[in-house]
Amino acid sequence: MISAQTATDRIAATLKNLGVDPTTSGVSTGNTWAKGEGDILESYSPVDGALIGTVRSASKAEYEAAVVAAQAAFLEWRNWPAPKRGEVVRQFGEALRKHKADLGKLVSYEMGKSYQEGLGEVQEMIDICDFAVGLSRQLHGLTMHSERPDHRMYEQWHPVGLVGIISAFNFPVAVWSWNTALAWVCGDVCLWKPSEKAPLCGVACQHIIAEVFKRNGVPEGVSVLINGGREVGEWMSHDERIPLVSATGSTRMGKAVGAAVGQRLGRALLELGGNNAIIISDKADLDMSLIGCVFGAVGTAGQRCTSTRRLIIHDSVYEAFKQKLIKAYGQLRIGDPLDESNHVGPLIDAQAVATYQKALKAAVDQGATLLVEGGLVSGPGYESGCYVKPAIVEAEPDMRIVQEETFAPILYLLRYSGDIHEAIAIQNGVKQGLSSAIMTLDLREAERFLSAAGSDCGIANVNIGTSGAEIGGAFGGEKETGGGRESGSDAWKAYMRRQTNTINYGTKLPLAQGIKFDL
Catalytic-residue membership of 305: yes
* CA separation for the pair 247, 484 (Å, rounded): 9
Q: What are the φ and ψ backbone dihedral angles of 49, each rounded to 5 degrees?
A: 80, 5
- Enumerate the H helices of 341-479 as residue ranges: 350-365, 400-403, 420-428, 443-450
How remote is the C-alpha of 34 from its chain's centroid? 27
- Whether the CB-CB separation of 371 and 322 falls below 8 Å is answered with yes
Residue 270 in contact with residue 166, Cβ under 8 Å?
A: no
174 burial level (CB within 10 Å; 0-12, 13-18, 19+): buried
DSSP 157-185: EEE-SEEEEE--SSSTTHHHHHHHHHHHH
Tell me, yes or no, if 62 is annotated catalytic. no
Q: Using alpha carbons, select from 241, 204, 206 the residue that is nearest to residue 220.
A: 206
* Closest by Cα among 413, 88, 396 to 218: 88
Would you say 465 and 437 are in contact if contact means Cβ atoms under 8 Å apart?
yes
Distance CA(464)–CA(292), nearest Å, equals 6
What's the CA gap between 57 and 227, in Å, rounded? 5
The β-bridge partners of 501 are 154
The closest of 431, 350, 414 to 388, measured between CA atoms, is 350
Helix, strand, coil percentages, rounded to 5, for the chain: 40, 20, 40
C-alpha–C-alpha distance, residues 510 and 64, integer Å: 49
Catalytic hit among 305, 386, 445, 486: 305
Question: What residues contact 109, with CB distance under 8 A and at least 6 apart?
Answer: 7, 11, 14, 45, 47, 52, 337, 338
Torsion, Cα 485 401 349 371, to 10 degrees, reads: -110
Looking at 62, 124, 196, 271, which residue is catalytic?
A: 271
350 CB-near residues (< 8 Å, 6+ apart): 385, 386
CB 226 within 8 A of CB 66: yes
Q: Hey, which residues are catalytic here?
A: 271, 305
